[in-house]
Chains A and B, each alone.
Chain A
Amino acid sequence: MKNIINISILLIPMLFAYLYSKTWSIVFLIITIVGLFAVIGFLPVCRRRENIWMFFASAIVMLPINIKLIKIIVTNINKLLEIDFVLFQVTFSVLLFFVLISAEEVVFGVLTRIIWKNQYKTKK
């Protein structure tokens, strides 16, 4: 029951991320990011393991924004490069998804480590 509550709390920033992807209102983006850090800081299960939880949480929470961004970028790239090839659109979309998630994980990871300096190391 506790685990379900912990995971459900993560869905709150995800809701605001979905609202941002629909409305493009910067307020929702700010609430999403602040909410994400607040959830990681609030949940006792995340204590001293903030980076590993942030890695997991940011990948899920930012999904709606990433999907919307990919649609916009792929449409514009097709117009710019004048390529109408479905396989290129598919591979480029997946690659762009990996690039976006990587950049987000790095940025959120660094911010998490700046806020919570003392954490357990993962076992080698």
Chain B
Amino acid sequence: MDKAVCRLDFIVDEFISIENEVRKMKYPMLANYLMFYKNKDGTYRVRDALSYEEYIVEKHVYRFMRALDGKTDPHSIKTPLPKDSVDEIMNWLFQNDLLRTSRILFKEGGTVLCSFIFTKNKTSHRVIACFLNWLLLIAWPMIFIIGTYVFFCNFAKFDTDTLYRSVWIGLIVGFFVGVILHEIGHLIAGMAYGASVFEIGGSIDSYVFSSAYVLMDTGRVKKTLRRVQINAAGVEMNFLLSGVSFLASTMLFSLAGFFFGMAIINLICGFINLLLVDRLDGGNIIAALLGNDNVFDKAKEIMRNRKKRMALFQHGLTGKVAVIVYGILNIFKISLPLLALTNIMWFIGICVS
């Protein structure tokens, strides 16, 4: 574990030095994942989309914050604020992680985020995203069903040598392409429905598992089905890619193994992402459908607290059903460890066979 942490620190340092060299950023920049809402009394509510914390700032502090673009000296920004308070505000911003000095972000729980693309929520981008989102909604079930059907109709034509020839390359390439398209799916759906999309990048969770992410805030998206589509768009992209790969494997016979690998890995990733586990797309979809973004925390609380459980029982048959639903959601927590265990058993099975 220590070796992994040391290696990661080296990688992080290199990213920061590359970032500073490339951007030649002399001064701190306001974090791109902040949202500002004007209050009736003239103050501004600042919402941090990364930590979900909120702050109230005065109008002059808000204007000062918006002027922090990384190229301007904070002390030279024209503001009615007294000169002494500029340092105080900069310290406060720094302590609350509201400033950015590099593309690397550290999230609670040991997650490291590396931003690749900073998105802009322009109207033109949203119009394109709307069109692409509708295209995705219509295309993915058709292409997935047709591709799978055509592949299995022609399955007898393939011999195992043809399929297994380059399947491993297809699995690896398919995984990376699938991850990128998965996040692009979330990005498109988020922009289409008015969510605040900040950036897209790669992440390492607790120094072990790497993936990609789209940082967005869906607070403005009120309709349940839209929130469901934002969470489901990633999986839809995986199934779309799987369908296209199945079709390609029947058409390009010489590359059948490669496309078969691509199709299989995206099919597996799509279904794994649909598991009803907190922070996976399936878990987020169910949370949106049940009308509670914190349904997994609620499920844990209900199962641990007998008083709350009994109180829910008093709400008639629906209350009892709710307790059973929370119980089922708690059982799903073992899915990811079970996935790891299955992989280990598969590996042992291969060795034994």
Contact = CB atoms under 8 A, between A and B. Distances in A.
Interface in B317-352: 317-318, 321-322, 324-325, 328, 332, 335, 338-339, 341-342, 345-346, 348-350, 352
Contact of A95 (B292, B328, B338): B338
B233 interface: no
Contacts of A105: 276, 282, 286
Interface in B42-63: none
Given A49-B318, A52-B318, A98-B332, A83 B291 contact: no
Nearest to B235: A106
Nearest to A80: B160
B339 A95 contact: yes
A25 interface: no
A53 B274 contact: no
A57 to B, nearest CB: 9
A91 B285 contact: no
Contact of A98 (B224, B291, B338): B338
Interface size class of A (residues with CB under 8 A): 35 or more
Considering residues B225, B276, B292, B352, which has the most beta carbons from chain A within 10 angstroms of its beta carbon? B276
A117 B225 CA distance: 9
Given A49-B318, A91-B342, A121-B291, A55 B349 contact: no
A76 B332 CA distance: 25
Contacts of A53: 318, 321
A83 B349 contact: yes
Contacts, number: 121
B345 A109 contact: no
A42 interface: no
Interface in A22-81: 45-46, 49, 51-53, 55-56, 59, 81
A110 B275 CA distance: 15
Contact of B291 (A87, A92, A122): A122
B142 interface: no
B348 A87 contact: yes
Listed from nearest, the 10 A-B pairs whose CB atoms lie closest are: A121-B291, A85-B349, A88-B345, A83-B349, A109-B289, A122-B292, A88-B349, A91-B342, A56-B321, A102-B275
26 contacts: A6-B317, A51-B289, A51-B290, A52-B318, A52-B322, A53-B318, A53-B321, A56-B324, A85-B348, A85-B349, A85-B352, A85-B353, A91-B345, A98-B332, A98-B338, A99-B275, A101-B276, A102-B276, A106-B274, A109-B289, A110-B225, A110-B289, A121-B291, A122-B291, A122-B292, A124-B293
Given A83-B349, A88-B348, A102-B276, 18 more contacts: A45-B316, A46-B318, A51-B290, A56-B325, A59-B328, A83-B350, A84-B353, A85-B352, A95-B339, A99-B271, A99-B275, A101-B276, A102-B332, A102-B335, A110-B232, A112-B289, A114-B225, A122-B290
